Chain A
Amino acid sequence: MVRPSRLTRFTRRVLPVLAVALLLTAALLLANDAAGDSRLGAWYPWMLGACALALVTLLVMIVQRLWRLRGELSRNVPGARLNRRVLLMLIVLALPPVLIVYAFSLNFLHATIDTWFNVRMERALGDALEIGRVYLDERLRSAQQTAAASAQQLADVADADLQARLDGFIDAQAALQLSVFGADQRVLATASSDPQFLAPLVPDSAVLLQVQGAGRYAAAEPVGARLLLRIVQPLPGAAPGAARLLQALYPLPAQMQTLTSGVEQANFDFQRLKYLRESLKLTFTLVLTFVSLLSVLFALMMAFGIARRLTAPIGRLATATRAVGAGRYDTPLPIRSDDELGFLLASFGQMQRELELSNAQLTRSAQETENQRAYLKAVLERLSAGVLGLDREGVLRTSNRAAETILDTPLSRYRGQHLTQLRREQPVLAPLLDRILLHVREGAREWREEVVLESGGERRVLMLRGTELGDSGEGSGVVAVFDDLTQLDRAQRDAAWAEVARRLAHEVKNPLTPIQLAAERLRRRFIGRLPPEETELLDRATHTIIAQVEALKAMVNAFGDYSRPPQIDARPLSLHALIGEVLDLYENDQRIQLTRRFAPGDPILRVDAGRLRQLLHNLLKNSLEAIGDARKPHIEVSTRDIVENGQNWIELAIADNGPGLPEGFGERWFEPYTTSKSKGTGLGLAVAKKIAEEHGGSIRAENRSGGGAVFVLRLRCDVSGAAMTV
């Protein structure tokens, strides 16, 4: 909100007061003027203009305030609506009394002015005036007679003697002035009893006209403040062209002068007032209207000020409330009164400060919680163990990356969904999920067990541990943690087999040579010396012993190979060339049909050629033994490049058309002494798997769709190596 300048504030405060003062003064002067005070008559239009100007100023200021209020209402300024309501209330309170007083005053004023003009009084005044006129007429007649007698006496008097005669008449007739005019109104003689009338009053053309017409002029004439009887008549006996005129001025008696003057003044005032009645009404109505308008407009101005003053703290409070709602607590709330509003503002200010403090604490707590959560998430993400967080209903709430890796499932997609949904879409995980759901349903506080997941012939062992989180509330539920024990389990098995092999080598292989030597000695000593039947028996027995000892030696050697620590002499070589060398050994075997189907190019791998050659032999021998007596034995050896998770791999597949994998073929078939064949050591696949793992690869077996089995060896293909094609 833009704060108005000091000049604007001064103008807003002072201008209405000036306008009101001007209007009041002008109205007062107008009223005085109408009542008869004519000292300011020359300023009358200016006073009217001042009134109009003051009214226009007040109106403009009110319109300006209304316009500002309208703007505030349209902008939804806090407190504007309350301001409007208070303003309307104040107007409703102030306006009717002013209008009522105005109407009654107007009516009273008009009635009062009308009462001034009483008919009986007017008639009485008229009668008094008429009496005065009758008296004047009577006095005029008397004055005419006196003047006529004087004229008669002066008729024969020479011009030179006129003055003396007039001096004699003036006192005798109690005249004010006596004058005799000759031709061309030349003064022949004049006499006066009052120094104010020393100069004769010369008859004008109108008087002379009447003298010529009526023979004399007789009239009561106001002269200064007095009423005089003026008689002008010619002196008798003079020729028409040289007529002399006698003019006589007679005063009224002093008492009658006062009385007639009073009567005339009273009548004069009454008639003037009568004529001015409507004008008085109009003027007083105008003044009253000015004053009423002044009252209304001033009340409006005051209403604006009072409404604004009353609602300003509430407006500030509303602004501060909005600010608090928007999260800002720094809105200043100046307290300018010690009333309830001031108390309210002070309380709100205190609440604002407390809210600010609480909010700051809340923000800090939220930040700490967020940090804690981020830390926990980081820990979870870096855990090698998989973690699943569930609520008490079995809905997945959280999971970490390790869980997705171990279960090979995008678990984030299932957050917020029940585990049964995940189980439906990922049936491979059923053994794990079923156990978790079981424990959730049973409300077990803690559990620990081993779970085996099998998919695509791969067997994975998971160690599942679960713990209940809290008893109730937002954080309650279950957390399940599982580790992939497959590698560990396999390592343990490998270590066990290695121990078996070492013991076999130590415990079994050592006695075999003496046994074989003993059997050979028996043959040398007794064959040919015993009867033929005995010799034949001995020959068969010793031969069997020697053969079995050889077999045992072979078996022990095989175990030795299996248990030998990996000593890889890896060098870059052409995979296809190596496969070709091995396959060439089987090319001439009439029992089988051998097919090669290599991928384009010649991948170069970094492998131990001898160990890889042994692996291939084991797989080929395994296939040959599996085919057995099939009608058209066929082995197909193929390679292909694949890219998985950004890593290049080479897959070597050896497929046969034999009976296929036995029922329940799985990971265990790659362990020693797991075979479905009557012959063999049961170590071929175990050694093959061991060699594959020594090279960072893997081996798997699956049935072919058209019959038979296929063993797939997957080896890591270095990018640099892959580029080295021959």
Chain B
Amino acid sequence: MASACGQTPPAFVVRSAALDAGALAVRLEWRPDARVLEALDHGIALGFDINVQAQGRANWFGRSTLAEQTRHLQLRYFPLSRQYQLRDLDLNQARSFSARALALAALEDLHLPLADWKTVDAERYRLHIAIDHDALPGALRLPALLQPAWRMCKGDYAWFVRAG
């Protein structure tokens, strides 16, 4: 149920997602534009918002959101130590990688602890991942709004509780 938006090639493609034992396991593909990687290599921190919604049954007005959690990740390059760091901003935990490919691979295989939703009578879950434009430097916000490389589409994924 991965989705793309419009004519822009999807930057995030969620392959699978599962919510089990209070943790979110996501496997995805991220094909960033060269300009985005160039920004990363020039020390610009890239923020990622991962939003998970527990949705109820569908009615005429769509599905109601029963519960919602958002996790914030940050990918950053440190030139002195040549290390790429993937930081969970909510838990203040970081993992360092000596190569960009390792950092991107870590980003594509996420295991994020979430609050327990056992009491939520959700029919399906919906995942939304996107680069946080608000976290970009001010000078980069206008290109992020205008240039397709930055106006990358949000990755969406939804799965039913039993099926997921």
Chain A residue nearest to B81 (CB atoms) is A220
User: Given that A48-B145, A279-B143 are contacting pairs, would A268 and B79 also be in contact in the complex, using a CB cutoff of 8 Å?
Assistant: yes
**Chain A contacts for B79, CB-based, 8 A:** 129, 264, 267-268, 271
In the complex, the answer to whether A222 meets B134 with C-beta atoms within 8 Å is no
Candidates B95, B139, B142, B145; contact of A204 at CB < 8 Å? B95
Interface string of A267-298 (1 = CB under 8 A from B): 11101101110011011001000000000000
In the complex, the answer to whether A227 meets B139 with C-beta atoms within 8 Å is no
Name the distance in Å between A676's Cβ and chain B's nearest Cβ: 133
Chain B residue nearest to A31 (CB atoms) is B138
Name the distance in Å between B154's Cβ and chain A's nearest Cβ: 15
Interface of B, secondary structure class, is mixed
Q: Is A35 interfacial (CB 8 A cutoff)? A: yes
Q: How far is the CA of A158 from the CA of B98 in the complex (A)?
A: 33
Candidates B82, B94, B133, B142; contact of A279 at CB < 8 Å? B142
Q: How far is the CA of A41 from the CA of B79 in the complex (A)?
A: 26
Among A35, A260, A263, A275, the one with the most B-chain Cβ atoms within 10 Å of its Cβ is: A275
In the complex, the answer to whether A33 meets B138 with C-beta atoms within 8 Å is yes
In the complex, the answer to whether B43 meets A283 with C-beta atoms within 8 Å is no
Candidates A129, A219, A280; contact of B139 at CB < 8 Å? A280
In the complex, the answer to whether A206 meets B97 with C-beta atoms within 8 Å is yes
Interface string of A22-65 (1 = CB under 8 A from B): 00000000001111111001101100100000000000000000
Chain A residue nearest to B44 (CB atoms) is A272
User: Given that A42-B134, A44-B134, A272-B42 are contacting pairs, would A282 and B81 also be in contact in the complex, using a CB cutoff of 8 Å?
Assistant: no
In the complex, the answer to whether A133 meets B80 with C-beta atoms within 8 Å is yes
Query: In the complex, how many residue pairs between chain A and chain B have their CB atoms under 8 Å apart?
Result: 106
**Chain B contacts for A721, CB-based, 8 A:** none
Q: Is A249 interfacial (CB 8 A cutoff)? A: no
In the complex, the answer to whether A276 meets B83 with C-beta atoms within 8 Å is no
Q: How far is the CA of A279 from the CA of B138 in the complex (A)?
A: 9
User: Given that A48-B145, A222-B96 are contacting pairs, would A272 and B80 also be in contact in the complex, using a CB cutoff of 8 Å?
Assistant: no
In the complex, the answer to whether B141 meets A44 with C-beta atoms within 8 Å is yes
Among A36, A133, A279, A283, the one with the most B-chain Cβ atoms within 10 Å of its Cβ is: A279
Name the distance in Å between B39's Cβ and chain A's nearest Cβ: 6
Name the distance in Å between A238's Cβ and chain B's nearest Cβ: 25
Q: Is A342 interfacial (CB 8 A cutoff)? A: no
Among B81, B102, B136, the one with the most A-chain Cβ atoms within 10 Å of its Cβ is: B81
Interface of A, secondary structure class, is helix
Among B44, B80, B97, the one with the most A-chain Cβ atoms within 10 Å of its Cβ is: B80
**Chain B contacts for A48, CB-based, 8 A:** 142, 145
Q: How far is the CA of A279 from the CA of B42 in the complex (A)?
A: 14
Chain B residue nearest to A277 (CB atoms) is B139
Q: How far is the CA of A204 from the CA of B80 in the complex (A)?
A: 22
**Chain B contacts for A282, CB-based, 8 A:** 142-143
Q: Is B55 interfacial (CB 8 A cutoff)? A: no
In the complex, the answer to whether A263 meets B81 with C-beta atoms within 8 Å is no
Candidates B85, B102, B134, B139; contact of A276 at CB < 8 Å? B139
Name the distance in Å between B55's Cβ and chain A's nearest Cβ: 25
Among A44, A132, A264, A274, the one with the most B-chain Cβ atoms within 10 Å of its Cβ is: A44
In the complex, the answer to whether B137 meets A272 with C-beta atoms within 8 Å is yes
Interface string of B99-123 (1 = CB under 8 A from A): 0001000100000000000000000
Q: Is A223 interfacial (CB 8 A cutoff)? A: yes
In the complex, the answer to whether B138 meets A35 with C-beta atoms within 8 Å is yes
Name the distance in Å between A181's Cβ and chain B's nearest Cβ: 17
Q: Is B90 interfacial (CB 8 A cutoff)? A: no
In the complex, the answer to whether B80 meets A271 with C-beta atoms within 8 Å is no
In the complex, the answer to whether A283 meets B139 with C-beta atoms within 8 Å is yes
Q: How far is the CA of A204 from the CA of B43 in the complex (A)?
A: 24
Q: How far is the CA of A699 from the CA of B137 in the complex (A)?
A: 132
Name the distance in Å between B109's Cβ and chain A's nearest Cβ: 10
In the complex, the answer to whether B98 meets A219 with C-beta atoms within 8 Å is yes
User: Given that A41-B135, A44-B134 are contacting pairs, would A276 and B140 also be in contact in the complex, using a CB cutoff of 8 Å?
Assistant: yes
**Chain A contacts for B137, CB-based, 8 A:** 36, 38, 272, 276
Among B79, B85, B133, B135, the one with the most A-chain Cβ atoms within 10 Å of its Cβ is: B79
Would you list 16 pairs from A and B whose C-beta atoms are within 8 A, ordered by A residue?
A: A35-B138, A48-B145, A129-B80, A132-B80, A206-B95, A206-B106, A222-B94, A223-B94, A263-B80, A271-B43, A272-B42, A272-B44, A276-B44, A279-B139, A282-B142, A283-B139
Measured CB to CB, the residues of B under 8 A from A are 38-39, 42-44, 78-83, 85, 94-98, 102, 106, 133-143, 145
- A-B pairs with lowest CB-CB distance, top 7: A33-B138, A275-B42, A264-B80, A220-B81, A268-B43, A41-B134, A271-B42
Measured CB to CB, the residues of A under 8 A from B are 32-38, 41-42, 44-45, 48, 129, 132-133, 136, 204, 206, 210, 219-223, 227, 260, 263-264, 267-269, 271-272, 274-276, 279-280, 282-283, 286
Known contacts A38-B137, A44-B133; 12 additional CB pairs below 8 A are A44-B142, A206-B97, A219-B96, A222-B94, A264-B78, A264-B81, A272-B42, A272-B44, A272-B137, A274-B42, A280-B139, A282-B143
